[in-house]
Amino acid sequence: MKKLLRILAVISLASVLAACGDVSTPNEETTFDFDWHAENPFYGETLTVATAFNFNIRRFAQAYMQANPGVTIELIDYSRDAARREEGREEIGLQLMTGDAPIMFADFFVNYLNADVARMLADWRPIMNSDPNFIEEDWFMAPFDAMAVDGRLLSFPFEIRYTLLSANTTIPGMTEALEGRTGITYAEALQIYLDLGGPEMGMFMDDNFNVNQAVQLNLSQFLDIPTRHVDFVNDEFIDLITTARRHTDPANNFDWVMSDVVDLRQIEEDSRHYFFRRDNVLNMSIYNIFETENPFGITLPFVNAHGEVMIIPFQGFVLNAGATPAQQALAMDFIRFMMIVPPLDPNLPDDAQDPQIVGRRGLQHGMWLMLPLHRSFLEFSVGNNHQSLIRWNFTWGNGWRLRDGMRLVEEWHLLSEIILEPMQAWGDMPMARSNTAPGFVVDAIEEILRQFHDGLITAEAAANDLQNRITLILMEMS
C-alpha cells in the first residue's frame, strides 16, 4: 500500500510539473531581509543538505561546524550509486510537494527550469547581493549570468565545465587564421580545416572529432528540452552529420580519447594527423617548462555564434523557498566557505586531499576544463593539484619524465602561473549555458549516430530515427 501511495504521489507530481510547461517565472524576490551583522547570526541554526555526487562535502561540513560553533549541518547523501541518486529524485520531489524538502539540495534532483518547480525554489541573487561578504571582484560572475533564467538564479553552480580546442600551429596559415580570436565555434574550426587544405593533406579535424561530437556541439539547433522542440529532419542536420563523418578519422572508435598522463610524444604524433586537439592547459605549461615549442600552440575555448563560452554547470545547489531567511543565509555562507576554505588534512594521502573533483581530472582531461567560481579557489586548485599531478605523472618511468621529474617538482609554481593567466581570461569571458540534455537523451542520440557512423543507416534514416525516438522520449518525460 505504501509503495502504491508513493507511485500515485510521483504521478501526481509529474502531472503538476507538466501542467505549466518549462518556462520559469519572473524574479519577484528583489530584497532579502536578514541581519548579516548580528553577533553569531547562525547560532542554533541547522542546515540540511542533500547531495547527489561525492566531492568531500562531509569534510567541508565538519570544518564549517568547527569554525562556527552552534551551527549544525545535516547531510543527506544520495551519492552512493545511480540507483540511490534516482531514489533521491523521487524522495525530494515528493518532499517539495509536502514542504519537507531539505533546505539546500543538488539541482540534479529537480528540473528547476520547470515553472512549478521554480516557484518552490528561492532565488540566490538577492541573498548574494545582501551578503556583505560576497564581493563580486572575488568571483567569476559570468557563469551566474549564464545560469540565470528570467533574472532568477535558481541553481548556484559549484563549478562550470567548458571545452578547449588547441590548434596545430605547424600547419601553414593556422596562426594567421586564429589571429585575434578569443574563442572558436565548431563551424569556424571546420571551415579553417577545409580552407587550409586538411582533407588534401590526408589529415583529420581533431583527435576526438566524430559525428556525435559534431551534433552535441550544435545540439541547440535541433533540440530544446524546456520547450520540447525537436527538429532533426532538415537539410542542415543531414549536411552536418554527412560532413562530420567525411572528416572523421577512420580509426575513431566513437569514444572519447582520454588520457590520465600528459604524453608529449603522443602530442607530437597527433600533430602529423590532426588540425586540432581537445586539449588541456597542462600541455601548454609542460611545453613551457621543457622550453620546447608546442605543436598545438594556440588554445581557445569553444564558443557559440555570439562569442559566449559554452558552459555546463557542475554540481549546482538549489535552495528551498520555504526555508527561513536565516537558513537561506546560512546556505549562502556555507557555499562561500566551501569555495574559499578547502580543508586539507596533512595526514591523508594526496588523492584524498582533493577538496573537489577539480584538479587532477579537470586539468588533465582533454574534453573538459573545470573552473571553480571563486578566484582564490581557482588559484588553490591549480597550485595544489599541480604538485599532485607532478608527483603522479612524472614518476611512472616514461623516459623523459624520469630525467626531468625533479626539475618539474622544483618549478611547479611556474606551471601555476602559466595556467592561471588563460584560465582567468576565459573565466571573465561572456558565457552561455549549453543546451544540455539528460543522460538518457544523450545516450539515445549517440546510439543512432553510432549506426550512421558505422555505415549501417543513411543520414536521412538517422534524422528520422532521431526525430521519432527523441520526440517519444520527451513525451514520456512529460
Over residues 442-459, the pLDDT tens digits come to: 889 999 999 999 999 999
Least confident of 3-12, 288-297, 401-410, 451-460: 3-12
The dihedral built from the CA positions of residue 51, 474, 162 and 280, taken in this order, carries a sign that is positive
Tell me: pLDDT of 4 over 70: no
pLDDT (0 to 100) of residue 134: 93
> Among the listed ranges 24-38, 98-112, 373-387, which one has the minimum average pLDDT value?
24-38
How many other C-beta atoms can be found within 10 angstroms of the C-beta atom of residue 399? 8
Higher pLDDT, 408 or 16: 408
Greatest Cα pair distance, the chain, in angstroms, is 72
Please give the backbone phi and psi of residue 339, each rounded to the nearest 5 degrees, phi first.
Answer: -75, -25
Question: What predicted TM-score, i.e. pTM, was given to this entire model?
Answer: 0.79
Q: Cα separations (Å) of 269 from 88, 246, 250, 277, 478? A: 46, 22, 16, 12, 48
For the ranges 38-42, 101-105, 371-375, 383-387, which has the lowest average pLDDT?
A: 383-387
Write out the CATH class of domain 18-158+314-340.
Answer: alpha beta
215-259 pLDDT, tens per residue? 888 888 899 877 888 999 999 999 999 999 988 888 777 766 554
* 229-230/309-314 β-pairing: unpaired
**R_g of the chain computed on alpha carbons:** 24
pLDDT at 7: 36
pLDDT, mean of residues 14-36: 54
Q: Which residues are within 8 A (CB) of 250 and not within 5 positions of it... i.e. 6 or more apart?
A: none
Residues 249/170, Cβ–Cβ less than 8 Å: no
* pLDDT (average), residues 272-297: 73
Please report the pLDDT score of residue 242 as a whole number. Answer: 95
Q: Provide the pLDDT confidence category of residue 410 given band limits of 50, 70 and 90.
A: low
pLDDT-based confidence at residue 279 (cuts at 50, 70, 90) = low
| pLDDT at res. 270 | 85
pLDDT computed for residue 415 by the predictor: 64
> Residue 402: is its pLDDT beyond 90?
no
Residue 29's nearest CA partner among 336, 323, 330 is 323
pLDDT tens string 62-100: 989 998 999 999 999 998 888 888 898 899 989 998 989
Higher pLDDT, 378 or 385: 378
Whole-number pLDDT of residue 332: 96
Q: How much helix, strand and coil, in percent to the nearest 5, is found in the chain?
A: 50, 15, 40
pLDDT at 401 (0 to 100)? 43
In this predicted model, what pLDDT tens digit does every residue of 330-339 receive, in sequence order? 999 999 998 8
Helices (H), 68-107: 82-98
pLDDT at residue 348 in the model: 36
